[in-house]
Amino acid sequence: MDTPSRAAAIRRALATIGVVSGLGLCLVASAATGDADAMAPTAHSDSAGAAISDAAITTKVKATYLGDDRLKGSHIKVTTTNGVVTLRGSALSADSKAAAEELAHNVDGVKSVDDELTTAGSNGTMHKAVAKTEREGSDSWITTKVKSEILGDSVSKGFKVSVKTVNGVVVLHGTLPNDDAVAHVKDLAEKVQGVKSVDTTQLKSTAG
């Protein structure tokens, strides 16, 4: 009677081992084939977590670029390392370059943006000093945008207004038909992104 009992016990033990072994294989397979979102919460390596986050940031930056008309014709390569986005390649214009940097800055998780984009100058080459001067590039972009808004507006497109931007402050020069025209041009300039204030002291009204 001891022998059958021993045999039964052995069979039960083998069956238990088989179940555990099978369960272990399922867990390994699940871990190996699980998606990135499932894996992320259990990752213990800081570098692995950073890699997942960086990949997500790069994807988001690229996605924002796809829908922006200012970047048409530009060729931009995006890489992200520890939250720092690096932009390489060429932008069609200073406007495009500024837009690319601005959009990248606005993506969640981005710590800073290293803008290494070049734009074509009169001789086809962008001087490095200009490319690296962020403030000058920003002021130049604002000036271009304000001029575009004034020329494209149905009320002000016939006005002769010169525009200069210094550290985000737009200075308008010219002579306009009345005070309403001055106020309208100021309003157009104030709506441009990046404008800190608008100086209209050098805008004159012919209405007296």
Distance CA 16, CA 199 (A): 83
Q: Which fold has domain 45-132?
A: Histidine-containing Protein; Chain: A; (3.30.1340)
Reported as a pLDDT band with limits 50, 70 and 90, residue 68 is confident
- Per cent of the chain over pLDDT 70 is 66
More confident residue, 10 or 101: 101
Class of residue 23 by CB neighbours under 10 A (exposed 0-12, middle 13-18, buried 19+): exposed
Cβ contacts of 1 within 8 Å, gap of 6 or more: none
What is the distance of C-alpha 163 from the center of its chain? 28
Mean predicted confidence (pLDDT) in 36-53: 47
Asked if 171 contacts 165 with a C-beta cutoff of 8 angstroms, the reply is yes
List the domain boundaries for the chain: 2-33, 45-132, 136-205
Q: If one looks up domain 136-205 in CATH, what number appears?
A: 3.30.1340
pLDDT of the residue at 154: 82
Of residues 179, 176, 146, 184, the one with CA closest to residue 158? 176
Residue at token pair 């525009």: 163
Q: Would the CATH topology of 45-132 be identical to that of 136-205? A: yes
pLDDT tens per residue across span 148-188? 888 888 888 778 899 999 888 999 999 898 989 899 999 99
Reported pTM: 0.38
Is 107 a residue whose pLDDT tops 90? Answer: yes
Q: Which amino acid is at 80?
A: T
pLDDT of the residue at 3: 52
More confident residue, 39 or 189: 189
